[in-house]
Amino acid sequence: MPPNTITVSGKIDASERARSLRTIRAVAPYLWPQDAPWVKKRVVLALGALVLAKVISVMMPFLYKAAVDVLAGEASGTMALAVGAIALTVAYGLARIMTVGFGELRDAIFVRVAQRALRALALETFTHIHRLSMRYHITRKTGGLSRIIERGVKGVEFLLRFMLFSVGPLILELTFVSIIFLIVFDWRYALVVLVTIAAYVAFTFKVTEWRVSIRRQMNEADTQANQKAIDSLLNFETVKYFNAAKREAERYDASMEGYEAMAVKTGQSLAILNFGQALIISTGLIGVMVMAALGVQQGKLTVGDFVMVQTYMIQITMPLGFLGTVYREIRQALVDMGEMFDLLHQPAEIEDKPGANALKVQGGAISFDKVEFHYDPSRPILKGVSLEVPAGQTVALVGPSGSGKSTIGRLMFRFYEVTGGAIRIDGQDIRDVTQDSLQAAIGVVPQDTVLFNDTIRYNIAYGRDGASEAEIIAAAKAAKIHDFVMSLPEGYNTAVGERGLKLSGGEKQRVGIARTILKNPPILLLDEATSALDTQTERDIQTSLKAMGEGRTVITIAHRLSTIVDADCIVVLEKGEVVERGRHEELLAHKGRYAQMWARQSAEEEEEAGEAAE
């Protein structure tokens, strides 16, 4: 459980109250938006229907009393005698119908307001999550993140509906009933009602706070179980490779065991809450009924008065009984929404500068000027890297794992910000231009192309919004995947499965290449795009990559040196520093670090070829 929130005793501390108030303030603009007058009109109309429903509701017991007095022969006054019991009964029934009718009208009017707020907040959250940095996303678990959003959005709808149409009407009705008891009967009746209400509310709130602390722990257990389930399913192949299905089931069950324990506590605490509420309400009901019965015996009250007192007490019992549920759910909604608004208040690490201009690519020349970067100051990744990539040329980055090759690609795309030096494209510091224009200018083919769980057409078309069918097919042909797609029973409508698992590694890479070709960027980043493929598939795809790179500025991050022998310049990185640079032949002649890497890989490839021949 997070510190400084709800304690096990169920008490709310100052930070939790502040968080709840912040959440309510954040939701209020969606209920009363300045840019949508129609929403305000609907809220006012809904409130009007609510007040009418409650006014009619508190007047109903008077009709009931009058009908009973007529039937009991105790009615006094010409009006009651003239109307008659049947007419009063019909009036009572019509009043009930009108109460329900106005209540449903209120809901029908307000539903558009609630759904609009739900949609707007969901969109804002979704958009904000995409604005957060790579650093944030690699430290969060997708399952837990989706659960926070799901619960938070549901909490918004609940809060908007019940804060306005449950708590408000309840307070209004209790106020009306207390005033009627004070005026029609006497102060003692009003006092009993007020004491009963106060005791009920105090008990309900105290027990509910305790239950909310249990519910929070239950949510945490639920989130952990969901994270483990999603993580396990996303790594289905790995689970099978290591015969770990039983192990995964045990991990999941351990999380569900914690959820089960909290769920049992929740059920038991609910029983305590319900019994305590019933005890308090029944005690109050008995009190006013005894007082009313004595009044009838003494001739101060009629039988109709006795019935009216009972009717009012039963009438307030229903919304009071609902109060526990409403309060509990509102508290839970505030907890759930608080987590989501915490997410919304998570600052985006990479922001466009105020008034940033769009990147203007003239040739695509890239300059790294003493670039430094670290995730942690104690562990520098890049240590003053300087290199030039002339427009239209191909520069390859090679080096051992951890040398900083892929980090350079992430910095170019502004997944992270450089901590020293600068990266420029055609003389423009990438920190001074908009992220949208920068990322539109760079096409990336990663080592492992991840596809959407949709069709091949959708995944290729993702390269450029609004691409035509002819353009999609042309990109597929350029990536040498069109013939394969046409050999499939459903062609371009073939579903690729989650993360593209229905396709082979080479087929996924070709789809990735096709959508990058469709994007048609002036700058191309190949991040070990073929290192995970077999030799023959790699050679085939290299042909497509080479064709795609013609006329573009290309930075290729390579593991297999044989794939970059034709590069205009090869840069060797080691421990975040440039140790060598030059063309393939020059570096071999230099007999330095690159030559050593080349010799070792050549020996490994000859050994693999020999084993394959055997």
Q: What is the CATH number of the domain that holds 431?
A: 3.40.50.300
Q: What is the mean pLDDT of the chain?
A: 81
DSSP 255: H
Residues 95-118 as b/e (b if ≥16 CB within 10 A, e otherwise) read beebbeebbebbeebbeebbebbb
Residue 359 within any structural domain of the chain? no
Name the residue range of residue 417's domain: 366-450+512-613
Query: What is the model's pTM?
Result: 0.63
Q: How far is CA 337 from the centre of its chain?
A: 10
The average pLDDT across 139-161 equals 68
What is the per-residue pLDDT for 172? 79
DSSP string, 315-380: HHHHHHHHHHHHHHHHHHHHHHHHHHHHHHTSPPSS-PPTTPBPP--SS--EEEEEEEEEEETTEE
Within-domain flag for 476: no
| pLDDT tens-digit map of 90-118 | 887 888 898 888 888 888 888 888 788 77
Residue 479 lies in a domain: no
Q: Model confidence at 13, in pLDDT bands (50, 70, 90)?
A: low
CATH classification at residue 333: 1.20.1560.10
Q: Which alpha helices (H) appear in 520-560, and where do they start and end? A: 535-549
Same domain, 312 and 444: no
Mean predicted confidence (pLDDT) in 166-195: 81
Among candidate residues 313, 344, 375, the one where a domain is terminated: 344
Q: Per-residue pLDDT for 143 more than 80? A: no
Q: What is the pLDDT of residues 38-96, one digit of tens each?
A: 878 888 888 888 888 888 888 888 877 777 777 776 555 545 454 566 777 788 788 88
What is the average pLDDT across 553-559? 88
Of 468 and 180, the structure prediction assigns the larger pLDDT to: 468
pLDDT at 8: 37
**Do residues 284 and 394 both lie within one domain?**
no
Helix (H) or strand (E) holding 467: none
Q: Angle formed by the axes of helices 168-184 and 303-344, to 10°?
A: 160
Is 352 among the domain residues? no
Q: Looking at the domain assignment, is residue 349 inside a domain?
A: no
Report phi then psi at 367, rounded to 5.
Answer: -130, 125
68: number of Cβ within 10 Å: 22
Both 392 and 313 in a single domain? Answer: no
Are 99 and 56 contacting, i.e. CB atoms less than 8 angstroms apart? yes
Whether 231 maps to a domain, the answer reads: yes
Q: Which residues pair with 524 in a beta bridge?
A: 443, 554
- Higher pLDDT pick, 473 / 225: 473
d(CA 573, CA 398): 6
304 lies in the same domain as 375: no
Question: Per residue in 272-284, is it b (16+ CB within 10 Å) or e — as a string?
Answer: ebeebbeebbeeb
> Which tokens go with 173?
């009705």
Burial class (CB in 10 A: 0-12, 13-18, 19+), 525: buried
Q: Are 507 and 535 in contact (CB under 8 A)?
A: no
Q: In this structure, is residue 195 part of a structural domain?
A: yes
Count up the domains in the chain and report the number: 2
Same domain, yes or no, for 112 and 162? yes
Average pLDDT value for residue range 322-342? 74
Q: What is the pLDDT of residue 470?
A: 93
Evaluate whether residue 506 is within a structural domain. no
Q: Which residue has the higher pLDDT, 392 or 125?
A: 392
Nearest partner of 522 among 601, 404, 439, 399, judged by Cα: 439
pLDDT in tens, 231-257: 888 788 788 877 888 888 888 888 888
Q: Pick the last residue of a domain from 312, 344, 376.
A: 344
